[in-house]
Amino acid sequence: MLLIIGSINVKLERVKLLDKIRLGINIDHVATVRNARGGKHPDPVIIAKQAEYCSVDNITAHLREDRRHVKDTDIKNLLNELKIPLNFEMASTDEMVNFAVENLPYACCIVPEKRNELTTEGGLNLIENKTIFKNILKLKKAGILCSLFLDPDINQIKIASELGVDAIEIHTGKYCDAIDNNEIQAELEKIKVSAKYAKSVGLDVHAGHGLNYHNVVEIAKIIEITELNIGHFIIGEAIFSGIEIAIKKMRKIINDARVNSF
pLDDT tens per residue, range 10-22: 544 554 545 568 9
- The residues, any chain, with a CB within 8 Å of residue 239's CB and separated by 6 or more, are none
Which CATH code fits 2-259?
A: 3.20.20.70
Asked whether the predicted pLDDT for residue 115 surpasses 90, the reply is no
Q: What angle do CA 92, 161, 122 make, to 5 degrees?
A: 50
Domain ranges of the chain: 2-259
Q: Residue 10's pLDDT is what?
A: 52
Q: What angle do CA 192, 174, 122 make, to 5 degrees?
A: 100
Segment 107-131 shows an average pLDDT of 78
- Identify the DSSP state of 85: P
Cα–Cα distances in angstroms (integers) from residue 88 to residues 8, 58, 104, 117, 259, in the given order: 39, 10, 9, 19, 30
Omega before residue 44 within 30° of 0, cis: no
Q: Residue 20's pLDDT is what?
A: 62
Which tens digits make up the pLDDT trace of 181-227? Answer: 999 999 999 999 999 999 999 999 999 999 999 999 999 999 999 99
Q: Residue 209's pLDDT is what?
A: 96
Q: What is the CA radius of gyration of the chain?
A: 18
Q: What is the value of pTM for the model shown? A: 0.89
- The residues, any chain, with a CB within 8 Å of residue 104's CB and separated by 6 or more, are 79, 142, 143, 144
Q: Residue 8's pLDDT is what?
A: 47
Active site residues: 62, 89, 209
Low-confidence winner among 1-15, 66-80, 153-167, 215-229 (lowest mean pLDDT)? 1-15
Q: Residue 14's pLDDT is what?
A: 53
